[in-house]
């Protein structure tokens, strides 16, 4: 509920705080006024309405029982003297309680009955001042569009507003420009500007729906600017498929009368020279100033000076538009002839400077096929790809296809554009291109190539493996070109291995192997990589690593090498070769292979999983946050949120864990991803175990465990240790014993370091005899150099708990303090919290090595507020949470920092701030 309230408006925390500060003074009988100003559409009204809503709901700190009312100025009444004053006073009367209303109405009637155009504003103001001083209770009045009130009313309101220091009345006066309303001059002014780029993107995501991609929202915000009204109007005109990233955004925003009114109201009055100057500037793709000046041809001309003065910001040879929406507005308003003239001028300006840009602008002037230009664009696309510029290569490839007249060459270029679309993360576009085979006159070989493109794109888009499509086209091409048939079978095998359907993957690898003598070098390398992936998910880890080691001579273009690196990294991660895998993934995220969003998102997905298995929780969180921002669809859309459930839980971020679970459930359902569903259940069960909700955890973990038992390697879906621990803690000892026996057999078959360590812990947990302590001592020493520090902390915690329950409190404190140290180092705040509780029960406390940096963001905010002297109720009001939530956070803070009082916490915060200041 509290989060919902805070989400009513975006990016106005400072402005909200300032208005709430004025309202809070009413509790002490102190009134005041704030003039809220800003350009049209910027959100002034929304801001004031939200604060008024909070006041009515009793959510403003320090504001007690208060009457709240709102009015809106009307231009139709500006000629009627004191019409606005009557409106405001009537609203005040209407906001009072019935028993107070009659007296107040009499006062207002006594005043307004004698008002006419000859009444002195000063005399009226004095009488109104006397009236408001008699208000029976505090009142808040919001006056929207106050600049539309009649002049005498504004004079009175200005007079009264400057004299509210001892009157329990707050006036929130909304105008477009404070300086333009003379009677309001001298009053406190709150200027509301455009949203920051980040807040503007958040507004786009909310308006577009929860599935709007972060990077799509960021690009829309950059094109529109930070005006909320313009953003909301434009987003409402963009198709859902573009907001979801399934189809590339149009190069220009859709026509928006709201955007034009706000950013280019003078459009209809521009002369021909001004129109052309603005079209050239908005037609420039790279923001370089020199080509625009050359295209305009007369740097000293009046229309060029006008362009710079009104529309352009210049910096070091580049420029940006002062109002970003002007680019789309002007381009949409331009005629085809005007656009062609601008592109021709820009193409001439780029001649000899940037051949690629010259080609691009020339292509925009061609509205019929031009095979010669298509050849040049095709070459430019290949050159851009070699430089790692995927988006640019795709743009060139699209234009090359559009301008190609010869059917055979058009098909070749379509396939090339489809491959570039995959790399750019435009998977729906790639599928659409692949299905052109139904419309075009294609050869058997071309149909096989189109089918391969569709299979690869669908594997990545939603994890769906089109086995029927593969079989049909492989059988059609096998006698003519067995290498193409093998490539199709291997694409299916790769997708099936990614979905953990090992038996089917093995069958398709076998189908490809029957053409072994006909395979070229690229297909043979693909066969080896798919075999390595299958081995790594089938428990044959040593064999998988051997295949990777034999595949070190990666050849092909830049992106073929990057894809090989990603494949190798996945195999090495499953085999617990974390350092090697991390180096390969970081090469992709570091930009060594260009700017492909698809490869970047795949690498970040791999990093999330790797860092979690390595016990580096903070690094996993950072990779997941980066993954969220990358604009590319992929089959990992449900997996990354699923893996982050337990990560956030360990980090002590329960709300984030629940949100990730919601994302995982939604993604898995929408795409029928059974593996992601299983991961989500396993991670949710582990989260519930941490929360101590054993019955719920057991039910969820049982479902996930059934799926895990279908796979040879128990570390692929590490649910069994959680299931066994939940059984033990929930009193299901017999189920724990049975599950342990099965786990032992599976670990014997695939004995990874994780499996050996967690098995040792589970043996100790299940044991109810004196032997349990010996088993725990063995567990804490098992594979400590290889296993995740999170798992080590869990084992240490379980050992400390058992010792305490056996009454061996001194020993328990030793192991629990070791737990705190290990858990703090890896960021597992939830384990620090649990260890702190156990230490308290054992007569100890959390070691003083705990730091403020080990607290969650919410805990650090609460710590800072405590240190500033605020009490729990004040903190709750400021953060819009309940007092109970603040108390729960404080309990965790005290345990993590090993302190027992607010005074000690203040000392820690002050010491932490001093340390930060000294090191900055």
- Give 137-153 pLDDT, tens digit per residue: 788 889 999 888 888 88
- What is the reported pLDDT for 304? 93
- Residue pLDDT, tens place only, 700-725: 999 999 999 999 999 999 999 999 99
Q: Quick check: 407 pLDDT over 90?
A: yes
Q: Quick check: 1 pLDDT over 50?
A: no
Question: How far is residue 243 from each of residues 98, 197, 208, 210, 426, measured CA to CA in Å?
Answer: 50, 17, 7, 10, 13
Residue 554 — very low, low, confident or very high, per pLDDT cuts 50/70/90? low
CA-based diameter of the chain, in Å? 106
Rounded Cα–Cα distance for residues 214 and 422 (Å): 19
Rounded Cα–Cα distance for residues 887 and 899 (Å): 15
Candidate from 17-31, 187-201, 763-777 with smallest mean pLDDT = 17-31
- What is the reported pLDDT for 5? 36
CB contact at 8 A, 456 and 422: yes
- What is the reported pLDDT for 726? 96
CB contact at 8 A, 829 and 847: no
- Residue pLDDT, tens place only, 293-302: 999 988 789 9
Residue 916 — very low, low, confident or very high, per pLDDT cuts 50/70/90? very low
Query: What is the arithmetic mean of pLDDT over 388-414?
Result: 94
Name, in order, each residue with C-beta under 8 angstroms of 647's C-beta and a sequence gap of 6 or more.
612, 617, 620, 621, 624, 657
- What is the reported pLDDT for 300? 84
Q: pLDDT above 90 covers what percent of the chain?
A: 54
Residue 635 — very low, low, confident or very high, per pLDDT cuts 50/70/90? very low
Query: What is the arithmetic mean of pLDDT over 614-620?
Result: 94
Query: What is the arithmetic mean of pLDDT over 542-556?
Result: 83
Cite the DSSP H helix spans in 638-752. 639-650, 654-671, 674-691, 694-708, 720-729, 733-749
Rounded Cα–Cα distance for residues 724 and 670 (Å): 31
CB contact at 8 A, 509 and 490: yes
Winning range, highest mean pLDDT, from 299-308, 469-478, 876-885:
469-478
Rounded Cα–Cα distance for residues 174 and 588 (Å): 51
- Any idea what the Cα angle at residue 652 is, between residues 914 and 896, rounded to 5°? 50
- What is the reported pLDDT for 481? 96
| More confident: 164 or 172 | 172
| More confident: 845 or 24 | 24
Residue 356 — very low, low, confident or very high, per pLDDT cuts 50/70/90? very high
Rounded Cα–Cα distance for residues 606 and 704 (Å): 21
Q: Quick check: 108 pLDDT over 80?
A: no
Question: How far is residue 559 from each of residues 390, 583, 654, 811, measured CA to CA in Å?
Answer: 10, 17, 39, 56
Q: Round the average pLDDT of the chain to a whole number and report it.
A: 87
Q: Quick check: 914 pLDDT over 50?
A: no
CB contact at 8 A, 280 and 308: no
Query: What is the arithmetic mean of pLDDT over 109-132?
Result: 70
- Which pTM value belongs to this model? 0.74
Residue 250 — very low, low, confident or very high, per pLDDT cuts 50/70/90? confident
| More confident: 893 or 403 | 403
Q: Quick check: 629 pLDDT over 60?
A: yes
Closest C-alpha to 203, from 230, 240, 228, 233? 228
- What is the reported pLDDT for 668? 83
- What is the reported pLDDT for 918? 39
Residue 95 — very low, low, confident or very high, per pLDDT cuts 50/70/90? low
Q: H or E segment at 70?
A: strand 67-72
In eight-state DSSP terms, residue 249 is: P
Rounded Cα–Cα distance for residues 426 and 394 (Å): 10
Rounded Cα–Cα distance for residues 523 and 529 (Å): 10
- In this structure, how many other beta carbons lie within 10 angstroms of the beta carbon of residue 239? 12
The torsion region of residue 827 among left (phi > 0), alpha (psi -120 to 50) and beta comes to left
| More confident: 551 or 844 | 551
Supply 787's token pair: 């296993």
- What is the reported pLDDT for 784? 85
CB contact at 8 A, 492 and 455: yes
CB contact at 8 A, 497 and 537: yes
Residue 76 — very low, low, confident or very high, per pLDDT cuts 50/70/90? confident
Question: Could you give the count of Cα atoms lying within 13 Å of 836 in the half-sphere of its Cβ?
Answer: 23
Rounded Cα–Cα distance for residues 43 and 196 (Å): 13
Query: What is the arithmetic mean of pLDDT over 548-574?
Result: 84
What 3-state class would DSSP assign to 33? Answer: strand
Candidate from 513-522, 584-593, 668-677, 679-688 with smallest mean pLDDT = 668-677
């Amino acid at each position: 509920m509290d989060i919902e309230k805070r989400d009513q408006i975006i990016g106005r925390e400072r402005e909200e705080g300032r208005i709430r500060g004025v309202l809070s003074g009413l509790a002490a009988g102190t009134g005041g006024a704030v003039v809220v100003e800003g350009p049209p559409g910027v959100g002034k009204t929304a801001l004031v309405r939200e604060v008024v809503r909070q006041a009515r709901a009793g959510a403003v700190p320090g504001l007690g029982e208060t009457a709240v009312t709102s009015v809106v100025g009307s231009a139709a009444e500006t000629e009627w003297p004191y019409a606005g004053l009557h409106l405001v006073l009537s609203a005040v009367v209407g906001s009072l309680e019935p028993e107070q209303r009659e007296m107040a109405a009499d006062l207002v009637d006594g005043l307004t009955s004698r008002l006419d155009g000859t009444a002195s504003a000063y005399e009226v103001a004095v009488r109104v001042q006397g009236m408001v001083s008699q208000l029976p209770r505090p009142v808040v009045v919001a006056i929207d569009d106050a600049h539309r009130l009649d002049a005498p009313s504004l004079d009175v309101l200005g007079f009264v507003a400057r004299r509210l220091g001892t009157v329990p009345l707050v006036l929130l006066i909304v105008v477009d420009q404070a300086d333009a309303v003379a009677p309001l001059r001298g009053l406190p002014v709150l200027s509301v500007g455009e949203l920051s780029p980040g807040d503007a993107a958040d507004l786009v995501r909310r308006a577009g729906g929860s599935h709007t991609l972060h990077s799509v929202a960021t690009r829309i915000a950059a094109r529109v600017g930070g005006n909320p009204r313009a953003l909301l109007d434009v987003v409402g005109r963009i198709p859902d498929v573009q907001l979801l990233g399934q189809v590339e955004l149009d190069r220009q925003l859709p026509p928006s009368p709201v955007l034009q009114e706000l950013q280019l109201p003078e459009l209809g009055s521009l002369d021909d020279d001004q129109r052309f100057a603005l079209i050239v500037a908005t037609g420039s793709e790279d923001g370089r100033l020199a080509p625009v000046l050359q295209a305009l041809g007369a740097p000293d001309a009046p229309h060029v000076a006008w362009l710079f003065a009104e529309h352009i910001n210049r910096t070091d040879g580049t420029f940006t538009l002062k109002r970003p929406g002007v680019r789309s507005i002007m381009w949409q308003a331009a005629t085809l002839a005007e656009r062609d003239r601008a592109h021709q001028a820009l193409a001439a300006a780029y001649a000899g400077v940037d051949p690629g840009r010259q080609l691009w602008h020339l292509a925009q002037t061609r509205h019929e096929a031009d095979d010669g230009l298509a050849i040049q664009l095709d070459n430019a696309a290949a050159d851009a790809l070699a430089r790692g510029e995927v988006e640019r290569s795709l743009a060139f490839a699209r234009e090359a296809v559009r301008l190609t007249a010869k059917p055979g060459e058009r098909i070749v270029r379509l396939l090339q554009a489809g491959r570039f679309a995959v790399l750019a993360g435009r998977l729906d576009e790639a599928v659409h291109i692949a299905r052109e085979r139904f419309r075009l006159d294609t050869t058997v070989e071309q149909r096989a190539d189109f089918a391969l493109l569709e299979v690869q794109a669908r594997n990545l888009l939603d994890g769906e493996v089109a086995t029927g499509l593969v079989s049909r086209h492989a059988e059609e091409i096998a006698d003519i070109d067995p290498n193409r048939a093998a490539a199709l079978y291997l694409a299916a095998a790769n997708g099936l291995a990614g979905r953990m359907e090992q038996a089917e993957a093995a069958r398709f690898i076998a189908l490809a192997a029957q053409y072994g003598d006909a395979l070229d070098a690229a297909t043979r390398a693909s066969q080896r990589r798919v075999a390595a992936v299958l081995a790594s998910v089938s428990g044959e880890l040593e064999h998988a690593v051997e295949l990777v080691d034999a595949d070190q001579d990666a050849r092909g273009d830049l992106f073929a090498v990057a894809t090989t690196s990603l494949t190798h990294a996945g195999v090495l991660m499953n085999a617990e070769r974390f350092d090697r895998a991390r180096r390969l993934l970081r090469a992709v995220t570091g930009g060594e292979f260009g700017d492909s969003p698809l490869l970047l998102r795949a690498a970040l997905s791999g990093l999330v999983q790797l860092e979690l298995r390595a016990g580096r929780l903070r690094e996993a969180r950072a990779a997941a946050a980066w993954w969220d921002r990358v604009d590319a669809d992929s089959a990992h859309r449900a997996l990354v949120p699923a893996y982050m459930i337990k990560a956030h839980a360990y980090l002590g971020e329960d709300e984030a864990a629940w949100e990730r679970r919601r994302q995982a459930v939604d993604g898995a359902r929408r795409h029928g991803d059974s593996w992601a569903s299983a991961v989500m259940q396993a991670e949710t069960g582990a989260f519930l175990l941490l929360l101590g909700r054993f019955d719920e955890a057991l039910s969820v973990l049982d479902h996930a465990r059934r799926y895990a038992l279908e796979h040879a390697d128990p570390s692929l879906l590490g649910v069994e240790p959680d299931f066994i621990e939940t059984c033990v803690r929930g009193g299901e000892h017999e189920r724990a014993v049975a599950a342990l026996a099965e786990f032992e057999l599976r670990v014997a078959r695939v004995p990874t370091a994780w499996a050996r360590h967690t098995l040792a812990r589970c043996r100790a947990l299940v044991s109810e005899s004196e032997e349990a302590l010996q088993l725990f001592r063995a567990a804490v020493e098992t594979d400590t150099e290889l296993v995740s520090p999170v798992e080590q902390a869990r084992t240490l915690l379980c050992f400390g708990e058992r010792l305490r329950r056996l009454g061996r409190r001194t020993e328990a404190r030793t192991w629990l303090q070791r737990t705190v140290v290990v858990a703090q180092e890896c960021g597992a705040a939830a384990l620090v919290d649990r260890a702190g509780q156990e230490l308290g029960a054992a007569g100890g406390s959390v070691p003083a090595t705990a730091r403020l940096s080990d607290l969650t963001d919410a805990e650090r905010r609460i710590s800072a507020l405590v240190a500033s002297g605020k009490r729990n109720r004040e903190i709750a009001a400021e953060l819009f949470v309940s007092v109970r939530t603040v108390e729960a956070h404080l309990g965790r803070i005290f345990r993590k920092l090993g302190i027992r009082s607010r005074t000690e916490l203040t000392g820690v915060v002050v010491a932490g701030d001093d340390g930060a200041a000294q090191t900055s």
